[in-house]
């Protein structure tokens, strides 16, 4: 009876096409549709629903040789440093990826009373990836 907040984690791939990961991109677009529908359905109950859309985050999901090879297909054993140089070109800000705490801070804000009237929003935490 007092409302609440639901925050779904998507990806920048949920906001724009991303080559080489079609199934991932499709699923992350699906998260956006789910979020928007739930935001409308739950608003009468004062429940806010939003999604967070990170660029690459410095976790094992991207900091591995298989992912590095997607960005450096002609390099037999790409290193983190080599990948960082290529990753940095995908963001508007001069960083290769963001830190997990950057995503956590966005989620904390969306869950807080400071965002009490924010619902149905796709919040990129993307170092400018989606505007490139």
Nearest to 97 by CA among 75, 110, 109, 80: 80
Identify the helix (H) or strand (E) that includes residue 81. Answer: helix 80-88
End-to-end, the C-alpha distance of the chain in Å comes to 42
Q: Where are any strands of DSSP class E within 34-118?
A: 47-54
Which of 17, 24, 37, 108 is the catalytic position?
A: 24
Helix, strand and coil percent figures for the chain, each rounded to 5: 45, 15, 40
User: Is-catalytic flag, 129?
Assistant: no
Nearest to 87 by CA among 120, 125, 115, 56: 56
Active site residues: 24
């Amino acid at each position: 009876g007092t409302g609440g907040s639901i925050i779904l984690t998507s990806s920048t791939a949920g906001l724009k096409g991303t080559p080489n990961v079609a199934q991932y991109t499709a699923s992350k677009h699906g998260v956006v549709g789910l979020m928007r529908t739930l935001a409308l359905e739950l608003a009468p109950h004062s429940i806010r629903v939003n999604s967070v859309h990170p660029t690459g985050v410095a976790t094992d999901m991207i900091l591995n040789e298989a992912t590095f090879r997607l960005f450096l297909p002609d390099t037999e054993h790409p290193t983190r440093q080599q990948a960082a140089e290529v990753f940095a070109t995908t963001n508007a800000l001069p960083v290769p990826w963001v830190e997990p705490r950057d995503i956590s801070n966005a989620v904390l804000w969306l869950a807080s009373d400071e965002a009490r009237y924010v619902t149905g929003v796709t919040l990129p935490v993307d170092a400018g990836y989606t505007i490139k």
